[in-house]
A and B are shown apart, each in its own frame.
Chain A
Amino acid sequence: NAGVTQTPKFRVLKTGQSMTLLCAQDMNHEYMYWYRQDPGMGLRLIHYSVGEGTTAKGEVPDGYNVSRLKKQNFLLGLESAAPSQTSVYFCASRLGRGHEQYFGPGTRLTVT
């Protein structure tokens, strides 16, 4: 049982490049989340999903897209990376309402 895993762990992009971050969970959780963490600002919710095939916007969705084609995977896409998207990205999942949220180890992204 690996819990929540994230790929890649580190990535450096140039402005304008695109990439996809992958989050996978093997706990059969319904809900999945993408957050970004910046110094002095805590974690901010980007997008989330309450089930396969569904997605919704969080607090800071601009510049990101997501997809949940399979229950166990939640993908975060950056179509045209900007330096403001330099951050540590965390994925999380939970079984459902009222249940604990489990976080992945994070992806450190630098956009130059």
Chain B
Amino acid sequence: TQLLEQSPQFLSIQEGENLTVYCNSSSVFSSLQWYRQEPGEGPVLLVTVVTGGEVKKLKRLTFQFGDARKDSSLHITAAQPGDTGLYLCAHGHFYNNNDMRFGAGTRLTVKP
């Protein structure tokens, strides 16, 4: 089992602050995905990173895949209350099979 460890488990910040959450493993992944899940809903895909060292930006969110493809980070600039949710990372052999494994998530609260 390739475990994904996410940190921190909980994060509560004020609107306007910056934050970074992490997804780490001892295994190498062919790809890694980040999802956001709001209460009472299913996860929604934010991004997929595939190449070691890759950086992807989605408005105020910046995703980075580690050079060795064992870890990833999500940085949010100037957080807003709408960013509140559970952020999950997941790995799977996205292109080759269907055995997706998820981390436990970081629960982010952004206070106005």
Contact = CB atoms under 8 A, between A and B. Distances in A.
Contacts, number: 54
A100 B102 CA distance: 15
Interface of B: 1, 4, 9, 40-45, 88, 90, 94-96, 98-105
Nearest to B42: A103
B contact patch SS:
loop
Interface in A25-74: 31, 33, 35, 40-45, 48, 50, 56, 58-59
Interface of A: 4, 31, 33, 35, 40-45, 48, 50, 56, 58-59, 90, 92, 97-98, 100-101, 103-106
A105 B38 CA distance: 10
A73 to B, nearest CB: 17
B40 A106 contact: yes
A106 B42 contact: yes
Contact of B45 (A41, A43, A97, A100): A100
B74 to A, nearest CB: 15
